[in-house]
Amino acid sequence: MGEEFYAIIKLVSGEEVFSLIMVDDEQENPIIIMQNPVIIKMLHSPQGSFIKVKPWMELSDEDFFMIRLDKVLTMTESTNEKLIEVYNNYISDDESEIEMNSSGKVKPDSKMGYVSTVEDARKHLETLYKLKDIKES
């Protein structure tokens, strides 16, 4: 097996896939092993250019996929640090588990914007305003 490297792969289906890959050419029919392959698209708008990242296989729980070389139109190694950073950030965000309770509901956390309960926030704000009133008198 060869070394791992980041690559952009154009498949015969027309899809462009970005992934950390390794080529297994020890068999009669070489295969490409892709780890967490994603589709990356550049979107352009009046506000600027953006990158959209989505998994290549959206409904799969697997991280590794194998493709025969006859399904690959072309492939190039990517050394673009920004692209690799976007990919790694996406993969690390995807791997962080979302905590759910027994009913299947997602438990909100600070990453989702959860700060506190309404009651806790009310108490905190009342305390702040009471302190402000004391300082003004």
User: What confidence tens digit (pLDDT) does each residue in 16-35 have?
Assistant: 999 999 998 888 888 999 99
Query: What letter represents residue 67's amino acid?
Result: I
d(CA 7, CA 86): 14
Question: 3-state class of 67 per DSSP?
Answer: strand
**108 CB neighbour count, 10 Å cutoff:** 12
pLDDT of the residue at 85: 92
Intervals of the chain under pLDDT 70: 1, 94-113, 115, 131-137
- Cβ atoms of 38 and 83 within 8 Å: the answer is no
- Cβ atoms of 78 and 7 within 8 Å: the answer is yes
pLDDT of the residue at 121: 83
pLDDT of the residue at 65: 94
pLDDT of the residue at 55: 93
d(CA 120, CA 126): 10
d(CA 107, CA 85): 28
Report if pTM > 0.75.
no
Sketch out the chain's domains with CATH numbers.
1-96 (2.30.30.100), 99-137 (no CATH)
d(CA 87, CA 54): 10
